Chain A
Amino acid sequence: MLEIAEKLVDETIKKGADQAEAVAFLTDNALTRFANSQIHQNIASKIGGIIVRAVVGKSIGIARVNSLGFQPEKEAVEQALRTAKLVPPDKHFKSLPTPKEWSPIKRALDPETADCPPEVRADAVDALISEAHSVSPVVKAVAGYISTGMNAFAVANSLGVSAQAAYSLANLSTTVISEDGGRPSFSKKGDFSRRFKDLDAPSIGRETAENSVKGLNPSKLSPDVYEAILMPLAANVVLSSVAEGFAATTWQSGASFVKHHLDEQVFDEKLTVIDDPRDPRTILAVPIDGEGVPKRQVKLITNGVVSEDSICYDSFMAVREGKESTGHSLLPLERSFEVPSVARTRPTGSQISLENVVVSPGNSTVEEMIAETKRGVLVTQFHYNAMLSVTDLIISGITRNGLFLIEDGEVVGPVMNLRYTESMLSTLKDIPLISKELNRTQGMTLPIIKVSKFRFTGVTEY
């Protein structure tokens, strides 16, 4: 693959580019989807292609060809060059990145996960569904998916960058629906790993089914400000919105909250967050970014404080501040098989992506969090979250797949879903407890987090 990328770079330079960068990639994956307790969609796809970035003076053109079936090399080189010769110069551009020493991440590719047969996924689905239904006769339907496969890409440029990565991914997600005459109750759980055999499908099925049964016959709760225990999928939404503020693109536009809270105690001092591909707790074991620059560890939040060192750069944005890239240029392939990589476009200039966020654990358990709650809610997931204010990180969305009321240290029972409208900066200012157990979610490894105040603003009927 590296040979293809290097050949493309040579070709682009020969045809008149001043600088050139090329990426060759392959994603080979499969996804077994189930609903109503049976497999209903079951697919596999093998997608390969190339991306060429041609630089003429300070003008840049990009072409991507997602195909192996015709002559993509010739087409991509010519198209990128043609575009570069037509567009005006990028006044900020100085150079593509120069080579930096990098090394592969050990055990990033698990061959069994990369080449998992459909029978193995089907049997895991079967075990999950059986276990879920064994919990109770009111378990009505089990849905979800299991995906397995591998991604690989190589990056080369005319200044000597030559790097590659190959990694496996496995993902399981399930939603269990229970019904006993009234409205259905939904519950959801998932897991990610580099190795399929790490995913414990039956126990995830059982736990999700148990929570689904517990969610039956919810009562109505008035919207108000409550203490909230944010389970992994809910905490992911809160912290993902915060993570967007660390991208150099947001920072330089002035829209990042970091700009307005430098070196302040903006979050609770218990909150420490890093981005590090070499942390064994992260899922995406990719040592380089989309420009072939080694990914560096960045301390995003240290004991609740953010600083200029929290910002993540690619080469394009770094040069504007006289800094070095931290290795955060967008990868050519998606971070999971939930999204097809062919749609991943690359801008001519910059696009920052944080793929390896790890939130430090605390020393609590969910049971202790519940015991310490006077009046609050346990939130499984937030759904359809809309950013209302970028600088304050005010988001509105709705709870989904299980919301439970807690009073005087005990779970009282399920409540109907609530709409929330809350500033993520405000809610993370006071975090009484963080779990010691970490959970693997999309792009982020994180604990369960309890916050003192979370503002709910609307009700639903289910």
Chain B
Amino acid sequence: MSFELGIEGLELASRLEASYSDIRIGDVYDRGIQVQNGSVSTAQTIRTGGFGVRVLVDGAWGFAGSTDLTSDEVKVITEKAIKIAKASKRVRKHNVELLPSKPNKGSYETPMKTDPFNVDTHDIIEVLMKAERTISDQSPLIKSSSAFFRAYKDKKLLLTSEGAEIEQEITWCGGRMGCIALRSGETQPMHYPDRRGRYCTSGYEHFESLDFPGEAERIGKEAVALLDADKLTEHKTDLILRHDLLMIQVHESCGHPTELDRVLGTEADSAGTSFVTPDKLGKFMYGSEAMNLVADSTDLEGMGGFGYDDDGIPAKKTHLIKDGKFVNYQSSRETAAEFGLEESSGGSRAKFAFNLPLVRMTNINLIPSGWKWEEIIEDTKKGVLMTQTKSNSIDDLRLSFLFGAEMGWEIKNGSKEKMLKNCIYTGITPEFWRSLDAVSRDDWLMHGSAQCGKGMPSQEMPCGHRVSTARFRDVRVWSE
């Protein structure tokens, strides 16, 4: 990539009195193919190139980016970033400081067997079409069905005025399929692997492993069966969440509230703040002793897996919650310094090179305990099993949540009895996690969200969640 242009930008920033500067140069390929109701509804490739210059002048940030990667534009954009930093200084009470970091030099590339960008479009369409038709063929009640493939390749170069030189090429792919069964105004959706899709930093072999054609018949049948399923009356019971629903619970009620920038108030006007206030660090029982949670960018299967974050910090694993106790935040060099942490968790990430890096989730993983998932069901006398996210809502402090499942099952005396529809559960984050008493080990799977939105302008960041099946006691459930 354009190393020389990057150096030009850093040298200019230094001449213009920046005490620190970095430049990111990126080239992103995003390939999407969707089959819907028998036709190809999306077949497109988006390529996004560009760069961004971040400067610290007199303790205030300035940032500017462009898609025009030329020597002249690097000069214009660097000067603009300096001008913006000087404007920031007008309304700045405290100087920005960065936690000291060794200027790393290195490179990283996602390990893979088959590059998803080298797979023929026709071959992918054939898989999607077969799966989508199989779903649709299950019943005339299926009014809409689709199957989607996406592959993403992010090539980026980071250079800093401290001497860091990092080149990375991160590739992920995956997809989703689903349908809507409709009868007399009632709709029932069903998806596989989940509503958001399952994506991993991997080659095309990950998409193949999802086996869309093999799962399609079940998806179609389940959507239709849901039309005749029973509803839950409102009550409190033991709730078992399968991994495909637990992932969103972890994302919303553990991932976001432990982001240090939210805690420090810098997302107050958009995403919100957090109930995990500074006084809770090292003292607060977030959950039961069965709860162990890590931020782990060394888990290379997840979409938060990489070699270095956008501050140039090498990938690392950080415990956020240990035996139920809250022990650390997700942080960047800036937020760690402001809070007084000894080190950054390596969570500084920018979507595109012309976006500002923010504190973002990497892979937020819930560590399993000794159970097998079937043992959790067998051990439950009366309860509800819920699978697949249908809806999710949580407040701006990340306390009060309500999640909906595409499918539920009544559990009686250790076995799955009847299917349930429109299932909802709700709770308050710490109370809910303190009721956790079992986490399975044999279905510990990496899920990923490609579309976690945060920041202003909003950046959709991919992140991962390796989770399994877990049981929570005495949770309020009902069907809408």
Contacts and interface: CB of A to CB of B under 8 A. Distances in A.
Q: Are A and B part of the same complex?
A: yes
Interface string B237-277: 00000000000000000000000000011111110100000
B43 A348 contact: yes
Interface in B67-114: 67-70, 73, 77, 80-81, 83-88, 90-94
A397 B426 CA distance: 12
A43 B92 contact: no
Contact of B91 (A125, A387, A459): A125
Given A67-B49, A174-B269, A461-B428, A86 B456 contact: no
B413 interface: no
A69 B49 contact: yes
B108 to A, nearest CB: 23
Contact of B50 (A47, A83, A345, A458): A47
B340 interface: no
Given A35-B269, A69-B68, A419-B400, A61 B43 contact: yes
B34 A386 contact: no
Nearest to A337: B457
Given A35-B269, A87-B40, A260-B185, A42 B88 contact: yes
Given A398-B400, A458-B402, A253 B180 contact: yes
B47 A66 contact: yes
B40, B81, B426 pick with most chain A CB within 10 angstroms: B40
Contacts of B48: 49, 65-67, 342
B352 interface: yes
Contacts of B34: 347
B52, B129, B393 pick with most chain A CB within 10 angstroms: B393
A458 B400 contact: yes
Interface stretch (A116-124, A228-236, A292-300, A434-442): A116-124
Nearest to B27: A67
Say which size band chain B's interface belongs to. Answer: 35 or more
A177, A343, A387, A417 pick with most chain B CB within 10 angstroms: A343
A421 interface: yes
Interface string B386-397: 000011111111
B50 A86 contact: no
B441 to A, nearest CB: 31
Given A60-B43, A67-B69, A41 B91 contact: no
Interface residues of A, number: 102
Interface in A16-58: 30-49
Given A62-B44, A143-B265, A400-B396, A343 B460 contact: yes
A338 B268 contact: no
B92 to A, nearest CB: 5
A388 interface: yes
Nearest to B65: A45
B402 A87 contact: no
Given A39-B92, A386-B392, A143 B422 contact: no
B266 A35 contact: yes
B64 interface: yes
B52 to A, nearest CB: 8
A384 B143 CA distance: 28
Contacts of B460: 343
A163 interface: no
Contacts of B459: 340
Nearest to A83: B43
A66 B50 contact: yes
A310 B303 CA distance: 42
B40 A388 contact: no
Contacts of A454: none
B169 to A, nearest CB: 17
A392 to B, nearest CB: 8
Interface stretch (B9-17, B119-127, B313-321): B119-127
B38 A91 contact: yes
B66 A87 contact: no
Given A44-B80, A66-B49, A186-B268, 6 more contacts: A33-B269, A62-B45, A126-B91, A144-B269, A384-B394, A400-B396
Interface of A: 30-49, 59-70, 72, 75, 79, 82-84, 86-88, 90-92, 117-119, 121-123, 125-126, 129, 141, 143-145, 173-175, 177, 186, 188, 253-255, 260, 337-340, 342-343, 345-350, 383-392, 394, 396-398, 400, 417, 419, 421, 458-462
Per CB-CB distance, the 9 closest pairs between chain A and chain B, nearest first, are A69-B69, A118-B87, A386-B391, A67-B49, A62-B44, A66-B48, A68-B68, A143-B268, A175-B269
18 contacts: A35-B265, A42-B84, A44-B80, A46-B67, A62-B43, A63-B47, A64-B44, A66-B48, A67-B67, A86-B122, A119-B87, A143-B265, A143-B266, A175-B268, A388-B480, A396-B391, A419-B393, A461-B428
